[in-house]
Structure 1
Amino acid sequence: MLKRLIDTYMALIPELPRYCDRCLETRRWNGSVVLMVVDAAFTSVGLNYFNAVVPKVMEFRDKFVKTGNITCLEELARAEKELFSVWRNARSVRAAMEIAEVLSEFGGDDRTAFRRWAAEAKLEEWRKDPVGRIKGVGINTFQYLRMMGGIDTVMPDKIVKRVINGILVKAGEEPVTSDIPFVKKVHEIAAITGYRPIELCLMTWLVEEGKDGLRVKKHSRILEEI
């Protein structure tokens, strides 16, 4: 029953494995770790991802990354003025800078440093992690960064919980509300259904339907770009 229900959702997004591969390979935003960190920090505020966050990350990209003004994590860690010029939330601006600073300390180029951090970071110890300790970084931002750093896992955000718990209830199972137990439950569902945890996570963001239809259809062009 559980697999059959999830299969119906997955059938709506044939492109999903490709999106997930790009995330796990740390190739989102054309491989720019700077933009992945900016994305995660801006997303932490809780505004609509496609309508509010993505346009601002694109604006930052066009103004500062494509022009060569900010090319690496070390430069992002000092980019307070540039970040504020496109995003007025002080907490997430500071989070972007501090995340960049922490990740840059893991050595190598940006992608190597990011993936090294993600490989070492532990869900159960996220509050003790150097990234998890940053003000403005909650468990959702922590998990989102781990995913972009190559870890096949899940964000326990409200959309993921709403969709997954809805499926669990339809399948006659109990919903899970606590963050870490929820993440572990989705990993169990992945093992049972044959889908990757990250696929279950991204699926929930893309199948929710609004007045304009499924997000995956509405934002297909953007998804290819990011």
Structure 2
Amino acid sequence: MAELSEIVDKYMTKTTGLKKFCDRCLRTQRWNGNVVLMVVDAAFDSIGLNYFNSIVPKVVEFEEAFVESGVVKNLKELSELPHERVKNIWANERSWGVANSVASYLYEFGQGRGLSDREALRKWAGDAPLEDWKQDPVGRIRGIGLTTYQYLRMMGGVDTAMPDKIVKRVVEEILDKAEVEMPTSGDFEFIKTVDKIAEISGYRPIEICWMTWLVQSEGDKIRMEKYRDVLDRI
């Protein structure tokens, strides 16, 4: 397993600053700690568009139009914001429904326990099941898949991974190079495999997950270099 650890190291050396970004994610401090923007981010990302080119600019546009203006200050107000108000920014009604529904559930969840929006996300994420995720109130929301569910849990402080196709491809590439056989076909098996690689390599599952996206090339740079300033913001 020493070779597997060395190969993971080689990938990780390309992502200077990744640990700091993942620390911020696990502290629920992405988007300057604004849970509204974290929920919007996850909802927009649920339809599979390019994250840095498509999702991040739209979340920034939403932030400028609704958060900085004071129109949406918390999850309750996000849950009540109709699609008609945002369709000039985000046309996909189904994924906007994800934002409304997640915000509504987390608001009610927090209200019933005397928690702030941030505390509600963290409490939900910490208690939310993995293998029975479809039985969870968030997992039952129309438009939420396991990847989005895991993304929300990560922003709520859970050190885990998403079974995203890019994450799977890079992890399988690493395993092939190390000539190590671990299951990757099933989503739950894959998440457990990332946990095992993390244990062997000394990195956290969240770091392995984000590394797989950030080592992808766009033009003559990898994403970690191309979007370094954006990562510092989000």
1:97 matched to 2:100: yes
Equivalent of 1:169 in 176, 191, 203: 176
Counterparts of residues 159-198 of structure 1 (less than 5 Å):
159-174=166-181, 176-198=184-206
Any conservation in 2 of the 1:70–1:76 contact (CA below 8 Å)? yes
SS in 2 for 1:123: coil
Residue matched to 1:56: 58
Segment of structure 1 superposing worse, 147-156 or 209-218:
209-218
Segment of structure 1 superposing worse, 9-18 or 133-142:
9-18
The Cα shift of 1:213 comes to: 1.3
Segment of structure 1 superposing worse, 51-60 or 210-219:
210-219
Any conservation in 2 of the 1:206–1:214 contact (CA below 8 Å)? yes
1:157 matched to 2:161: no
In the TM superposition, structure 1's runs of 4+ consecutive aligned residues that sit over 6 Å from their partners are none
Identity %: 54
Quick one: which amino acid aligns to residue 223 of structure 1? Answer: L
Segment of structure 1 superposing worse, 98-107 or 19-28:
98-107
Equivalent of 2:135 in 128, 137, 151: 128
For structure 1, the residue ranges without an aligned partner over 5 or more in a row are none
The Cα shift of 1:173 comes to: 2.1
Separation in 2, partners of 1:38, 1:45: 12
Separation in 2, partners of 1:100, 1:138: 16
Segment of structure 1 superposing worse, 6-15 or 174-183:
174-183
Any conservation in 1 of the 2:28–2:156 contact (CA below 8 Å)? yes
Separation in 2, partners of 1:153, 1:143: 7
TM-score (norm 1): 0.98
For each residue in 1:113-166, what CA deviation from the matched residue of structure 2 results, as whole angstroms up to 9, or x when unmatched? Answer: 110100110111111110000010000000000000000000110110010111
1:26 matched to 2:28: yes
Residue matched to 1:83: 86
The Cα shift of 1:86 comes to: 1.1
Greater relative contact order structure (CA < 8 Å, 6+ sep): 2
The Cα shift of 1:85 comes to: 3.0
For each residue in 1:182-213, what CA deviation from the matched residue of structure 2 results, as whole angstroms up to 9, or x when unmatched? Answer: 00110011111110000000101101123231
Quick one: which amino acid aligns to residue 36 of structure 1? Answer: M
Quick one: which amino acid aligns to residue 28 of structure 2? Answer: T
Any conservation in 2 of the 1:212–1:218 contact (CA below 8 Å)? no
Residue matched to 2:74: 72
The Cα shift of 1:177 comes to: 1.7
RMSD: 0.9
Counterparts of residues 184-223 of structure 1 (less than 5 Å):
184-223=192-231
The Cα shift of 1:10 comes to: 0.7
Any conservation in 2 of the 1:106–1:116 contact (CA below 8 Å)? no
TM-score (norm 2): 0.94
